[in-house]
Amino acid sequence: MNPCFYWIGRPVSFRPGETIAAALLRAGIADLGPEGGAVRGRVFCGIGACQACVVAIAGEGPVEACLTPARSGMRLAPQPGLGLHHD
Ligand code: FES
Range of the domain at 37: 4-78
Nearest CA to ligand 1 atom 3: 48
Does 58 map to a domain? Answer: yes
- Report how many domains make up the chain: 1
Residue 60 backbone zone (phi > 0: left; psi -120 to 50: alpha; other: beta): alpha
Does 42 map to a domain? Answer: yes
Does 8 map to a domain? Answer: yes
Does 19 map to a domain? Answer: yes
Q: What is the CATH number of the domain that holds 56?
A: 3.10.20.740
The Cα–Cα gap between 47 and 37 comes to 22
| pLDDT of the residue at 37 | 57
Instruction: Give residue ranges with CB within 6 A of ligand 1.
Output: 43-46, 48-53, 64, 66
Does 84 map to a domain? Answer: no
Task: Based on DSSP, count helices (H) and strands (E) in the chain, helices before strands.
Answer: 1, 7
Q: How confident is the model at residue 1 (pLDDT cuts 50, 70, 90)?
A: confident
pLDDT digits (tens, 9 = 90+) for 46-72: 999 998 999 999 999 999 999 999 999
